[in-house]
Structures are given as structure tokens and as C-alpha cells.
Chain A
Amino acid sequence: MQDENGAAERPLWEIDGLMMKAGEREILAPLSLSLARGKVHGLIGPNGSGKSTLLKVLARQLAPSAGSVRLEGRPLPEWRGRAFARKVAYMPQFTPAADGLSVRELVALGRYPWHGALGRFGDEDRAAVDGAIRRTGLSAFEHRQVDNLSGGERQRAWLAVMLAQDADCLLLDEPTSALDIAHQMEVLDIVRDLTLAGSGMAVIVVLHDINLAARTCDDLVALRGGRLVAQGACTDILTPETLHAIYGVPMGVMPHPVSGAPLGYVL
């Protein structure tokens, strides 16, 4: 194991020679990269590029065919279930029906990694749940049933579960895919704000829309056909050449009329 300083210097995630195969088909080619703390990382790429698979491997939902993934320098298989869940929170692309739970009950489930099956639900847990509900702006809904909420509210409730989990790293798989533009902003702004306070928290989010990703993320990882095409700051990625390499269609880039940030568009 690493001592405190050593762990702080290393990147949070180190991915080395990661491969994923389904039968004969290669979903992830040998892939090596590292992801740092304190940033929002966007995983982008066309359909079938392997970005969702990569996220699932990080979340330990899928076991890789070859290669290694280290979290804080420690290989993933060595982490025990709850210890890992205290470090990493994951939200699947399709969140399940919450089965009659109220918002507060659902969010409280996020404390499982801390108290386990039998431990007491203490003040600390209560505070974490309160905080998560407040930060996602769900205080008015906390006793409503999750299944009766609107899509955006429901997505925020699941985000609150992850926040209550008090993990160092959040993994989000297309958290906005079923939402309209206003609700997309609502969710992504919460995500955006997580890393701002210098909390050292890392977020890795799979996003379909390149401009949404550029607006939300500090750092983009672009995949195509299971291979790493580019990694870097948004301004580095959003160039006509790189975008063409990622998406395979000719694309242009122009500055945002108000913020001046680069915007990609199809030619």
C-alpha cells in the first residue's frame, strides 16, 4: 500500500493495458490512461466506442478480459465491496424503478457502504443524507415517492444517493440521456459544482453530446472503436481535426457567442 503522501501524488485511476472482449469482438483495445482527482472527466465518443464499457469496468460492474485498473494505486480486485463503494459511486444509465421508496429512503440507501447490513444508522449518516438532499435541491420532495417524480427530479434523487455515499469519485453513465435541455442543465450543473469547492472529488461522466461535455467537463477522454483517440482539456479536443478523428464525420468548431468557449458542429 501507499502512504498518505504517495497516494496523493499518484493519479486517482491508473489504467494499464485494459482489454475487453465479447467473444471474438474487441470492445476495448489495450487501453492505458490515468485520471486525476479534483476534475470532471468526460468520456466521449460515437456509439460503440466503448466509453460505457470503460465506465462499467471502473465501477467493477464488468471484469476486464486483460490489463489492470488501479484505484489509489491498488488493483481493483483487491478492494472489498463496501470499501470500494466508500471510494467510488456509480450510477447506471438506466436507473431502476425505486419500488415505492420515498426520496429520503432512497437516498439513505447510499449510506450502506458506511454502516453495512447491520450497523446503526447514526447522526453522521443522517447528516450525509440531509446534505445530499439539500445539494440536489430535493428538500421539498424528500417524502414524495421516487417513482412519482418527473424525470429530472428522479435523476437528481439518484445523484443524491451517490452524494450520500460520500465517495471520492462519482461515475455517471449518460445521466442526461432521457432529459430535456433544462433538466440536463440542472443535473450537469450539480455535477459541475461538485469539484469546484476544491473537494478533491473526481467525476467521470459518459456524455453523448460533445458540447454538453465541453460545457461540463475539465478534461475529455475520447474513444473510438475501443481505442483512445485523444485525452486533454476541452480546448485541445474541440478542434476540427480531432473531432473528425473521433466521430468520423467532417466537423467544424466556432466560439460560443456569449462565453467564447468552442462549440462543435457538423459541416
Chain B
Amino acid sequence: MAEMVLATGGRRRVAWTWLGLCALAGLLILAALLRRPDLPGDPETVRRLQEALLWHSALPRIATALLAGAALGLSGALLQRVLRNPIADPSTLGIASGAQLALTVCLVAAPGLLAWSREGVAFAGGAAAVGLVIAMSWRRKLEPVSVVVAGMTISLMAAAASTALILARGEYVLSVFIWGAGSLHQQSWDGAIVIGTRLALGALAAAALMRPLTLLAVDDASARSLGVALVAVRVLVIALAVWLAASVIAQVGIIGFVGLAAPALARISGARTPSQILWRAPLVGALLLSIADSLIQVSAGSSGDLIPTGAAVGLLGGPLLLWLLPRVKTTTPPQAMLRATTPRRAHPWRMVVMLLAGGLLIGLVTLTLGRNGQGWLLAQGDLFADLLPFRAPRTLAAAAAGALLGAAGALMQRLTGNPLAGPEVLGVAAGAGVGIAVVILLVDTPGTLLLMAGSAAGALGALVFILLMGARTGFGPERMLLAGVALGCLCLAILSAVFAAGGWNTFLLLGWLAGSTDRVGGLEALLLAGATLLLLAPLPLLARWLAILPLGTPVSRALGVPVVGGRLTLSLLAALMTAIAAFFVGPLSLVGLLGPHIARLLGFGGGVAFLFASAVIGADLLMLADWLGRTIAFPYQIPVGFFAALIGGPYLIFLLQRGDARHG
């Protein structure tokens, strides 16, 4: 639409707008430069210090902001072009999180490697993340929504792993948090020089690849018939984009969504051909980051910036994604839907009963088998009675939360027809996290009840928001998925800004992110179990909607199914389940994705049996994760949420790229 408006007479206005923005950026840079601190001391020392500040801090910071913005803009433009996806960028593809995780792992495990090459480590992490995302969404033909949902999943897994590392080895926490929130403070020209050279090389490479990139605009078959070595070009371009992003992350940390915004703004400003977008996006990115950083500097108080620049820009990411939503083509061509290969089970309910029995067995083990300082211990008699008040509630809570997540995941996947759609990416759980963060920031030592209220308020807010976004499109599942991802990004940006402040209460927040079943009391566990039964009970009544709605709006409407009401009901149910479960096991567990996939692998094709199988599998998984987390490093506990993510995530990736569980 923007292009249409611009086509007539708008060009001049655009030119003026850009000129104005450049002037604004320049003015802000000047303002930031003029805002020198008053330094005490003898004039000679002050002069020397001011000089050092100007040359080694202020100017490098300006240069770094411009160069990092440009590099991210170019990276985003390349990714969007090569994936034909208007919402691809280093953040949405998980590159940033992957790079950060790799840096964190090295910081904790092999600091020597970091001294050798931060950039190499960041590149390896980013490349691994984008590789996983592509592997996961390959079967969906790299369709934009699937790619971004896969990116979100990878980001969540990386976040889980980082959290685990931070909790386990607390020494360098602060530097990890600073990375996560992306700050542009400089103390030398090193960062600017590194990013600058990468940008120059990247721009040269992009220019060299311009012709094949232009041809990528048409579909694969046509491009191939035009003689483009598709795979080679794609791999090259993606590697280039990852490298650009990784070099920025290695120097200044995560700067979210500049790569998303820059190409979008370039398009709005009238850039239409690939080469126009590729040239303008870096300029826009530079302008954007420079303006943001100068504003942060100008508004800084005497005790430093209000929030780090990266986190501030990241906050814009969510709204930006939402704004881009209508531009994303979500229709999957019919032939991209794939045929089922897993044979359907003839008697699915028998398998559900077996899974339940398995759950009981696991429950029995978790209640009796544990460790003490000396070794393994089978609790009997008095010891059993003694430990039961501690083991029973957490086992029950893990089972209930797992069942809720499994069922919510199955609902989401049926509803969206997207096998990558888990409740974790819906943003409801992350909303709960923001609610908890607010409580922690406002109250010094909040009790469980208050935290729970905060979590519920956050989840509810997120839910209302997603439903409002969904209402505009008749609760179209793809849109709601994207709105959820956008909201999730926003919430994660808020959380990383909170972490960057590095207060001691951040550990409380980390503990929540990690999820812990062990503080659940008996009464709470019973309430949770009751809520679980209450929410699972209506599922059989919804079976017919669940069978018909995935067939799409035309068919559902033709059969007289209330499309909007049905979707609203099912989304509400899934979101409620997620919000409740997330309070106990955190938003990162991935069980909601894993449960339905394993159910499908076991031959559950759909229907109520599939929902219940997913729920039971979820329960089994979380009970197992809870028990392992409790015993494996006794007396140290590994939080159930990321323990599940850490064992489940790799398996999930394996499943998805193998393609057995590929039909939604």
C-alpha cells in the first residue's frame, strides 16, 4: 500500500523525509557529543581526559552504532531476499540467540577459545541456529511463518541452555546479561574497525551476488531454469548474513530487530528492486541505530543509560512484527502439504492406556527412588512417609503441567495445521514472565501468591492482546501464531532489559524462567491437578471442531461449523492451559511441542485419542525430567523446565528434520 501512495508525487516527500531523518540523526549525534561530563581536576588532566573520551569512547560509539546498524540492515535484507520472507532477520531466525549461547558456553567452559576468536564462536553458534531453523522448516518449504516459528523455538532453547549455564556457574553472569541486552558503549576503535571491515567485505560480496539474488525473486524452478546454482547461492548468502550478524553480536551483543526494520523501511521508502533494497537497508539500519543510540545517550542520567540500546531497539521489534503481519503471505500452496507416512494405529485408546500405565510407573519411581549423600536410595517405610510430602506434590505438579502443555500443543498444532506451533511460541507464557518481572521489580521479596498473581495477569494480558490481534482476521491461525511470536519477542526483549540491570532479584526471575516444581505445596499441586482435569474434560466435546477446523475456513464454513467461535474457544483453552502450566515449569520447556510429535510418531493420527495421548506423553516427559533434574546432580537440582528443553529440544529437531511427524 505504501508503494501505491508513494508512486504519485510522494517521491519528493520521501526524499525530504530522508533528508529530515539524516538531519535528525546528525543533530542527535551532535547533542550526544556536546553532552560531555564535567570533569574535576587540574586543567591539563581534564583536557587530556576529555580528549581520550572523545577519541576513544564517544566517536567510536557513534561509528559503531552506524556500522552495526548498517551491518544488521544488510544482514536482514540478505536473509529476507534469500528466504523470500519479509519477517526474516537475525533475531527471528534465532541467529542472535544461537550466537549468544555459543559465546556463553565458551565463557563458562572454554574462555581460551573466546580470547582466540569471539567472532568465530559467535558465527558458529549463529550458523548452527540458522541451520537448525532451516532443517526444521525445510519440509514446509521454508514458508515464512514456519521459519519464524522454528526460529522462535530455537531462540527459546538457546535461552533455556543459557539460563542453565548461568544458574550453574554464576561467575560471569553480568557479562552474559550485558551481551544479551546489547550495549554500544566503547572504550576503543576495535569494535568499529572489526564491524566496519566485515561490513565492507559483506557489501562487496553482496554486490557480487546481486545478479543471482535478483533471480531468486522468482520461484525455485524458474530460477533454476535460468541457470542459477540455487543451493550454492543460498548457502553463500545465508553464510554472509550470519557472519555480518555474528560480527556485530561478538562486538556489542544482541541488537534486536534492526535487521527486520531496515529492509521494511527501505521498502516503504520506495525501494522495490532487490538491489535498491540491498543498498538502502544498510543506510536505514545505520540511521535507525544511530538515532536510537543518540537518544539513549542524550537521555542518560548520571548513573548511566536508562536501558541498553540493544534492549531498547528490541522493544520496537514486537510492534514492528505486528505491523508487518498483513504483508506476510501465509498461504501454503496445497501441494506443499505432505502425505502422511506414519501408519495409523488401529486401536489408539489401547496405546493411551499403555502410556497412562507408563506414567504411573514413572510416578512410582519418582516417589520412591532418590539419592542421598552416599548414593541411590529406595525409600520405604518411614523414609518414604518422610519424603512423600516433598516428592508427591512436585511429581503431581510436573505431571499436571506436562499434561496441560501436551494438550495445549496438540490443540495449537491442530488449530494452526502447523507442526511447529507449540504453546511456548504463543507468547502467553512469555507474557506471564513479564508479569512476574514486574512483580519482582516492584516488590522486594514477593511471596508465591503474589508471583502467581503477576504471572496470571501477564498471561491474561498477553492472551487478550493475541485475541485482539486475532479478531481482526477472524482468528486466522497463522496470524495468531505470528502475533504470538511477535508478542513473545517483545516479552523476551523486556526480560533481557530487566536482566541487563543485573540486580540481585534477576536470579528470582531466572529461577522462574527455569521453572521449578519443587516449591509447589500439596494444596497447590492438588489445585493444579484439579484445574488440569477441568481443562482436559471438555476436549472430547470439541473433537468434531478439532477435526473440521484444520481443513480450513471454506470447508469449516461449508459444514456449518462456527469458525470464529470455534477458533476463539480452542485458542482460549490452549492459552489458559499454557499460562497455568508455565507458572510451574517456566515458558521454555518445549513439552508442548514434543508431546504431540511423539504422539504422532506413535501412530496417533488425530481425534480425541491424539489429544489425550499428547497430554499423557507430556505428563510422562515432565515427570521424568523432574525426577532426573532432582537426582542427576544431587544435591544440586536442574530446573525441570530447561532440563525438559535440553533433552527434548535436540530430539524434536531430529524428529522435525526427519520429517516423520511433518503433517500438521
Interface residues, chain A, with chain B CB atoms under 8 Å away: 59-61, 80-86, 88-92, 94-102, 105, 109-110, 112-113, 116-118, 145, 147-148, 165
Contact = CB atoms under 8 A, between A and B. Distances in A.
Interface residues of B, number: 30
Nearest to B664: A99
11 contacts: A80-B560, A91-B558, A95-B555, A96-B550, A96-B551, A99-B417, A100-B663, A101-B605, A117-B561, A145-B340, A147-B339
A165 B334 contact: no
A71 to B, nearest CB: 14
A80 B565 CA distance: 14
Contacts of B548: 109, 112
Contacts of A90: 554, 557-558
Contacts of A86: 560
A193 B106 CA distance: 72
Given A97-B334, A97-B663, A118-B541, A113 B554 contact: no
B211 interface: no
A132 to B, nearest CB: 14
B558 A100 contact: no
Contact of A99 (B541, B554, B560, B606): B606
Contacts of A110: 559
B13 interface: no
A83 to B, nearest CB: 8
Contacts of A97: 334, 337-338, 417, 663
B562 interface: yes
A174 to B, nearest CB: 13
A25 B344 CA distance: 48
Contacts of B377: none
B334 A98 contact: no
B558 A99 contact: no
Contacts of B607: 105
Contact of B552 (A88, A89, A96, A147): A96
A91 B417 CA distance: 20
Contacts of B557: 59-61, 81, 90
A105 B544 CA distance: 11
Contacts of B349: none
B364 interface: no
Contact of A113 (B338, B553, B560): B560
A147 B337 CA distance: 9
A165 B340 contact: no
A138 to B, nearest CB: 17
Interface string B629-664: 000000000000000000000000000000000011
Interface string B584-611: 0000000000000000000001110000
A84 B554 contact: no
Contacts of A116: 544
B414 to A, nearest CB: 8
Nearest to A147: B339
Nearest to A158: B555
Given A59-B554, A105-B606, A147-B663, 17 more contacts: A59-B557, A59-B558, A80-B560, A84-B560, A92-B558, A96-B337, A99-B417, A99-B664, A100-B340, A102-B344, A109-B547, A112-B561, A117-B542, A118-B541, A145-B605, A147-B337, A165-B559
Contacts of A98: 551
